[in-house]
């Protein structure tokens, strides 16, 4: 489904954490849109708020004030149950350390999100096989995470992220734990998901080489979007 309005709309977003009696601002007055089919890199030093912003867009953290809409849905207006359901069908997650379950095979890990859907067992199998083919691991379906390299584990994690055909893919330092060759393979795969499959990707990274693969780069510094440092690639 293609959206005429921006896929993600963020307006006047504020987020702070409370530490004892102290209030620590994390994000201040963030406003920007993400178009359908965008590949966005969020950059910034440690503590700049980029992972917090990613978590807010993905609906796994709450904000103090402002608006986040994804596909026209105001996610702050959803109940906990509605939000969990929304996440399961609209957001694919890719983490730095893969977050695979060691006692499940590659197939089992990729299949997990599909148990929250109404797909039959046969349909689940077809979806998993397709996802593992997309990440070039059809011959590793029965392997456990411990039998796979770091790069292969991250590709399994990417297959798990795309298996539900989500509206957005959020990736937090997806190459942070990989060697240079594996990182290059993972980034090329993410570019392919964006270009060939039209997936909207929001990636947090501190690595300029990773950020170069994105179409747009936005910089956060101390919770503020640096308007003078955005590149359209």
**Residue range 177-192: average pLDDT?**
88
Residue 116 has pLDDT above 90, yes or no: no
Residue 4 has pLDDT above 70, yes or no: no
Structural contact between residues 216 and 232, judged by C-beta atoms closer than 8 angstroms: yes
Could you tell me the two tokens for 200? 């909207």
Distance CA 198, CA 233 (A): 16
Block residue for tokens 């007055």: 29
**Residue range 117-135: average pLDDT?**
90
* Residue 228's pLDDT band (cuts 50, 70, 90): low
Residue 128 has pLDDT above 80, yes or no: yes
Pairing of strands 216-221, 39-43: parallel
**Residue range 147-167: average pLDDT?**
91
Q: What is the DSSP letter of 148?
A: S
Structural contact between residues 139 and 148, judged by C-beta atoms closer than 8 angstroms: no
Buried b (16+ CB within 10 A) or exposed e, 151-177: bbbbbbbbbbbbbbebbbbbbbbbbbb
Q: Which residues have CB under 8 Å from 47's CB, separation 6+? A: 222
Taking the CA atoms of 212, 131, 175 and 46 in sequence, report the sign of the dihedral they define.
Answer: positive
**Residue range 178-207: average pLDDT?**
90
Per-residue confidence (pLDDT) for residue 1, from 0 to 100: 53
Structural contact between residues 214 and 37, judged by C-beta atoms closer than 8 angstroms: no
pLDDT in tens, 51-80: 999 999 999 899 999 999 999 999 999 999
Please give the model's pTM, rounded to 2 decimal places: 0.89
What is the residue-wise DSSP string for 15-75? Answer: EEEEETTEEEEEEEEEEEEE-TT-EEEEE-STTSSHHHHHHHHTTSS--SEEEEEETTEEG
State the DSSP H helix or E strand holding residue 127, giving kind and residue range, or none if neither. Answer: helix 121-134
Per-residue confidence (pLDDT) for residue 94, from 0 to 100: 87
Percent over 70 (pLDDT), the chain: 95
pLDDT in tens, 76-103: 999 999 998 898 889 999 888 788 999 9
Average per-residue pLDDT for the chain: 89
Domain regions of the chain by residue span: 36-56+91-232
Taking the CA atoms of 68, 193, 160 and 202 in sequence, report the sign of the dihedral they define.
Answer: negative
Structural contact between residues 112 and 105, judged by C-beta atoms closer than 8 angstroms: no
Residue 195 CB-half CA count within 13 A: 9
The class (CATH top level) of 36-56+91-232 is: alpha beta
Who has greater pLDDT, 174 or 107?
107
Per-residue confidence (pLDDT) for residue 160, from 0 to 100: 93
């Amino acid at each position: 489904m293609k959206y005429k309005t921006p896929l993600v709309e963020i307006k006047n977003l504020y987020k702070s954490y409370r530490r004892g009696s102290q209030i620590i601002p994390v994000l201040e007055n963030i406003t920007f849109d993400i178009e359908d089919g965008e590949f966005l890199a969020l950059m910034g030093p440690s503590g700049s708020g980029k992972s917090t912003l990613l978590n807010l867009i993905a609906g796994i953290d709450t904000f103090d004030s402002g608006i986040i809409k994804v596909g026209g849905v105001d996610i702050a207006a959803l109940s906990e149950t509605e939000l969990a359901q929304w996440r399961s069908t609209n957001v694919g997650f890719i983490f730095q350390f893969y977050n695979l379950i060691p006692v499940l095979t590659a197939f089992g890990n990729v299949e997990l999100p599909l148990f929250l859907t109404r797909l039959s067992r046969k349909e689940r199998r077809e979806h998993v096989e397709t996802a593992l083919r997309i990440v070039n691991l059809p011959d590793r379906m029965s392997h456990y995470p411990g039998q796979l390299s770091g790069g292969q584990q991250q590709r399994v994690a990417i297959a798990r992220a795309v298996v539900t055909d989500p509206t957005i893919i959020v990736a937090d330092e997806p190459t942070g734990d990989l060697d240079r060759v594996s990182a290059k393979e993972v980034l090329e795969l993410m570019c392919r998901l964006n270009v060939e499959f039209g997936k909207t990707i929001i990636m947090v990274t501190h690595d300029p080489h990773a950020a170069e693969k994105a179409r747009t780069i936005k910089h956060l510094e101390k919770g503020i979007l640096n308007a003078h440092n955005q590149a359209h690639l």
